[in-house]
Amino acid sequence: MKESKKKNYMRLRNIIPIITLTLIVCSLFLSVASAADLVVNPVHSPKGAVLLIIDGMGSSYIYPEFVPYDLDGNEVGKANLSNIMLITESGTRVLDVRAPNPSTTPGHSIITTGYSDANKDTVGEMITIFDVVRKHDYICMAVMQKGDFENMRAEQDAILFDESHSINEPSITLDHSISCPTDVLELMRGYQDNLFLEEKEGVDRYIAYNEWAVGASDAIASFMCENHPEQKFLLTVNVGAVDSAGHYLGSEQYLYVIEELDKDIYSLYQTCLENDLIFIITADHGMAFDLTERGREVGGHASEKYAKTLEAQRVPLIINGPNIRKYVINGTYGQEDIAPTLLSGLDVMNLLPYSEGNIIPVKKYANLRVVTDQPADVIVKKGDLTVAFAFGDDITFFGLFPGNYTIRVSSYEENLNLDSDKIVEIQNSGTDYRVIIATAMISVVMLGGLLIIRRIMRE
C-alpha cells in the first residue's frame, strides 16, 4: 500500500511541472501576441525635456513676422534678441499659437493638460503630461516663480517655487516626494537659500530674479544628465519677472527684461542640446499695453479689454531637440496643442484624457499606434509596398516617414496622412485562429491535467 502511494506521489510530481510549463508557454504566446513595439526606421528619442514657460512673453514682441500695438493702435517696440532666434534656427518655430484664456493659472493648466477650458481644478491625477510621462519612468521636477498652484505642485516629484510670488520679498520653498534622488534635492536646497538678489533694485532686481530661475534649472538639468544619465525627466520652468515688468514697468522695461533673459537662456539650451533633451520655449499668455488717464503706461492680459487683443493671446512656441526638424510652421494653433506635441516629441504614445489638442508636426518622423479590440495581423502599407506588419491588439510602429499610408487589419482598411504621430483605434470583427488555438490548447491541457490528477488520486 505504501509503495503504491509512493508511486502515485512520484507520478503526480512529474505531471504537475509538465502541465505548468505547457500553460506558461500558451500564456506567453497570448501575451506576446497582444502587444508589440516595432521600430520601422531608426529614431532618436530624447532622454527628457525642459519646458520653459516665460510668464507673459507675447510672441508679438519677439517674432519678426508680427508688429505689436497698444490698445490705442499705436505701434509698440520689439525685443532685440539673439539667443532665442538662434535657438529657433536649429529647431521648429510655430508662428501663431493662441492662448484661449490669457491668464497665468488657466495658461499653465492648458499647457499641461491639452484642454482649452482647463483651470487649476482640472489639473489632477492622471490628467496631465506629468502623469503620462511618469508611466514611462520619468521623474517630474519644476522651478516655478508663478503658475505654481497647489495641484500643479502636487504633480511634481520635486519643485522649487516662490510661495510669495513677490520679486521684492521672495520666499522660495522646496516640496518633494521620495521619488526624487536625494543628491538632486541637496542641489535644489542650495538654490532655495541663495537667490543672488542682494543689493539689486529696480529693473535689475527683475532681471536677477529671472536669472536665478534659469540658473537653477540649468544646474538641475546638468546634474541629472551627469549623475543620473539613465533617468528620464521632465523639468518645468516658470520665469516670472517678464510678466511683472509688463504690469508695473511699462513696455520699454518689459522689452528690456526679455532681452536680458535672452542672454541667460543660452546655457540652458546648450545643456539640452548636449544631452539629447527637448527644449521648449513658450508662455502662458502675452501682454497688451495701455495708457492711463495720467499718462502712465500699464500692461495687462486677463481683463476683457486686454484679453481680446492678439498681443495678449499670442504666445511663442519654439521646440528644439534631437528628433525635431528645422522649420517654421504657419497656420493658427491653440495653446492646447502644446501638451500632445510635447508628448509626441518624447515618443510617448499615450492620450491625455481631457485633451482637445492636436499634435503639431514638429518631428522628423512619425509614430503610429494601432489599437484593436482583439489581437490581429496589422499591416502598414505605403502604396503597394508593405513597410511594416505585426500581430497584436496594441502595436506601435516607430520611425515612419511622413506621408500617406494604408492600415489593414483583417478585412478592415483605413487610409491616413501621417504627418505627425497618430493613434488609431479599430473595432476588428474578424476571427484570429491563433488566439482560438492558443485558448483551446490551454483548455485541453487544463482538462487533461485534471483528469490525470484525478486518476492518480483514485489509485
In eight-state DSSP terms, residue 161 is E
List the CATH number of the domain containing 456: 2.60.40.10
- pLDDT of 13 strictly over 90: no
Do both 244 and 370 map to the same domain?
A: no
Amino acid letter, residue 377: D
Counting residues of the chain whose pLDDT is more than 90, the rounded percentage is 81
**What is the phi/psi pair of residue 166, to 5°?**
-125, 125
Residue 358 lies in a domain: no
- pLDDT per residue over 366-381, tens digit each? 999 999 999 999 999 9
Give the pLDDT score at 198. Answer: 84
Q: Give the range of the structural domain holding residue 69, as residue numbers without chain letter.
A: 48-345
Number of domains in the chain: 2
- pLDDT per residue over 108-164, tens digit each? 999 999 999 999 999 988 999 999 999 999 999 999 999 999 999 999 999 999 999
Do both 295 and 397 map to the same domain?
A: no
237 CB burial (10 A radius; 0-12, 13-18, 19+): buried
The separation between CA 184 and the C-alpha centre of its own chain, rounded to angstroms, equals 21
- Angle (CA) 199 203 204, round 5°: 40
List the CATH number of the domain containing 106: 3.40.720.10
CA dist 104 to 169, 282, 300, Å?
A: 20, 13, 11
What's the rounded mean pLDDT across residues 212-216? 98
Do both 117 and 37 map to the same domain?
A: no
443: CB partners within 8 A, 6+ apart: none
Do both 10 and 156 map to the same domain?
A: no
Beta strands 403-409 and 412-418, pairing class: antiparallel
- pLDDT of 299 strictly over 90: yes
Helix, strand, coil tally for the chain in percent (to 5): 40, 30, 35
Gap between the Cα atoms of 153 and 159, Å rounded: 7
Residue 17 lies in a domain: yes
Do both 53 and 36 map to the same domain?
A: no
Residue 106 lies in a domain: yes
3-state SS, 180-224, equals CCHHHHHHHHHHHHCCCCCCCCHHHHHHHHHHHHHHHHHHHHHHH
Do both 199 and 117 map to the same domain?
A: yes
Do both 190 and 328 map to the same domain?
A: yes
- pLDDT per residue over 173-199, tens digit each? 999 999 999 999 999 999 998 888 888
Gap between the Cα atoms of 279 and 4, Å rounded: 74
Do both 157 and 250 map to the same domain?
A: yes
